[in-house]
Amino acid sequence: MNDQNQYGRDRAQHYAYLARLNFMCADIADEKVGLLPGFEIAAPPPVMTLCAHSIELSLKSFLLQVGVPESEVRSLGHDLVGCWRKSQDMAGGALPKVDERVLAIISDLLGSGGLRYGEQSKLGRVPVYGPLSDLCRQCLDLCNAPSLEDMV
């Protein structure tokens, strides 16, 4: 095995690890902040930010695992829809179905900076935590992110 392949595999594992940590923090934060008034209809912006990063890192981990060079993976930026489409292409369309509406909304919020300022997506919506957390879990499964038990 050449060093570049080993490096890519290690980076993929590191991305998956960070994806899991971001989601764990989002889940814990939603347990507390999600109880505040108004967040029964929309996930809190900090929780959405952590979820968006978890999704991004999960998809990028998957792309590294299937051999996409890290420079190409990084060039996708914060475009979660682009990362998903690239992942589908690399898997020959054989990926599980995800809620692409939630993916589009969180991608728009992440890419536009709306999460930092609590703005709505240009799509006119913000996700509730349930569907957003489901999307995170699907992406974590896709990249075989380690469980908490595997990390400690």
Asked if 111 contacts 79 with a C-beta cutoff of 8 angstroms, the reply is yes
- This model's pTM is above 0.85: yes
Using the predicted structure, report yes or no on whether residue 4 has a pLDDT greater than 70: no
The gap from C-alpha 92 to its chain's centroid, in whole angstroms, comes to 20
* Closest to 87 (Cα-Cα) out of 36, 18, 15, 5: 15
Output the pLDDT for position 73.
Answer: 97
Between the two ends of the chain, the Cα-to-Cα distance in Å is 28
Task: Name the CATH superfamily for 3-145.
Answer: Nucleotidyltransferases  domain 2 (1.20.120.330)
| Cα separation values, 132 from 1, 23, 39, 61, 128, Å | 38, 10, 13, 19, 6
| 1 band by pLDDT with thresholds 50, 70 and 90 | very low
* Closest to 146 (Cα-Cα) out of 23, 13, 47: 13
Output the pLDDT for position 108.
Answer: 93
The mean per-residue pLDDT over the stretch 50-62 comes to 98
- Please state whether 147 falls in left (phi above 0), alpha (psi between -120 and 50) or beta: beta
Q: What is the pLDDT of residues 65-97, one digit of tens each?
A: 999 999 999 999 999 999 999 999 999 989 999
% of the chain with per-residue pLDDT over 70: 93
Q: By mean pLDDT, which of 22-26, 116-120, 125-129 is the weakest?
A: 116-120
d(CA 106, CA 29): 17
Average pLDDT for the chain: 90
| 7 band by pLDDT with thresholds 50, 70 and 90 | low
Output the pLDDT for position 115.
Answer: 86
Break the chain into its structural domains and give their ranges.
3-145
* SS3 category, 127: coil
- The residue behind tokens 């728009």 is 108
Using the predicted structure, report yes or no on whether residue 103 has a pLDDT greater than 60: yes
